[in-house]
């Protein structure tokens, strides 16, 4: 029943992402049919740096709906069920999560919060409880099997599993939704675990599609001020009230 650490891996993204976004933007301002320029974009006849510059400048104007044509897919492990519940609140995305109904937690992995890990007595009590949970789950599952539940035993025994139980998830988001995700979850006010997920995803996006994500992150990073009220500001940037 080991402690698990976060792992975020890139799986896939829409092919020819930069050219696709460039073409989608151009169609909004171009009298012709962008399908006719598509072969030139793919061949490099239109310099990729020109495409990237156009996309970046258009994004800065606030026009961002064309980036929905491109999506990223990530595989994530080493997060708690508590963290996954925050992630799936982002509705414009697709998720495939490890099922506690079909996957038996015979050796439950878990996530240990850093604030608990650094206090010896808190860590000891936390790990003791994880052991108690594991024992209760295993006992209940076996009792249910013995009483004929067989493969259905998992779905009832799982009711004792904690928010700390580790889970794995495959997640796909389009680029507009990713920016929104980063605005909220890279913020210093975001919960530590989901912020770590968002930071790892952002680094991947910056590497794979810099024209779109170099300036990605918490909203304050683009605005140059904190959009929160003074009550909730972390202090990294001045609030709107202080710069107006």
Q: Which has the closest alpha carbon to 164: 81, 41, 46?
A: 81
Distance from C-alpha of 105 to C-alpha of 165, rounded to nearest angstrom:
9
Kindly name the residue from 185, 189, 195, 240 that is annotated as catalytic: 185
Q: Which DSSP helix (H) or strand (E) runs through 75? A: strand 71-80
Distance from C-alpha of 176 to C-alpha of 179, rounded to nearest angstrom:
5
Token digits of residue 72: 């990223």
- Angle at which helix 48-60 crosses helix 17-29, to 10 degrees, equals 60
According to DSSP, residue 97 is labeled E
Distance from C-alpha of 185 to C-alpha of 183, rounded to nearest angstrom:
6
Q: What are phi and psi of 173, to 5 degrees?
A: -135, 145
Quick check: helix, strand or coil at residue 94? strand
Q: Which has the closest alpha carbon to 131: 103, 152, 110, 158?
A: 110
Q: Which has the closest alpha carbon to 213: 40, 70, 77?
A: 70
Q: Does residue 185 have an active-site annotation?
A: yes
According to DSSP, residue 138 is labeled H
Residues noted as catalytic: 185
């Amino acid at each position: 029943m080991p402690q698990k650490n976060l792992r975020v891996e890139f799986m896939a993204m829409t092919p020819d992402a930069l050219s696709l976004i460039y073409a989608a933007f151009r169609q909004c301002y171009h009298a012709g049919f962008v399908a006719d320029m598509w072969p030139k974009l793919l061949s490099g006849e239109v310099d990729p740096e020109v495409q990237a510059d156009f996309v970046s400048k258009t994004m800065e104007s606030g026009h961002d709906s064309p980036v929905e044509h491109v999506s990223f897919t990530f595989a994530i492990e080493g997060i708690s069920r508590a963290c996954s519940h925050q992630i799936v609140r982002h509705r414009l995305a697709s998720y495939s999560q490890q099922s506690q109904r079909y996957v038996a937690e015979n050796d439950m992995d878990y996530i240990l919060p850093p604030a608990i890990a650094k206090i010896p007595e808190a860590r000891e009590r936390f790990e003791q409880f994880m052991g108690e949970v594991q024992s209760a789950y295993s006992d209940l599952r076996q009792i249910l099997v013995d009483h004929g539940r067989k493969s259905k035993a998992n779905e009832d025994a799982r009711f004792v599993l904690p928010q700390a139980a580790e889970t794995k998830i495959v997640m796909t988001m389009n680029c507009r939704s990713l920016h929104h995700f980063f605005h909220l979850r890279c913020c210093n006010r975001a919960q530590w675990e989901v912020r770590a997920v968002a930071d790892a995803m952002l680094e991947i996006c910056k590497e794979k599609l810099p024209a779109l994500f170099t300036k990605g992150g918490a909203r304050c990073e683009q605005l140059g001020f904190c959009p929160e009220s003074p009550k909730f500001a972390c202090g990294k940037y001045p609030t709107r009230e202080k710069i107006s």
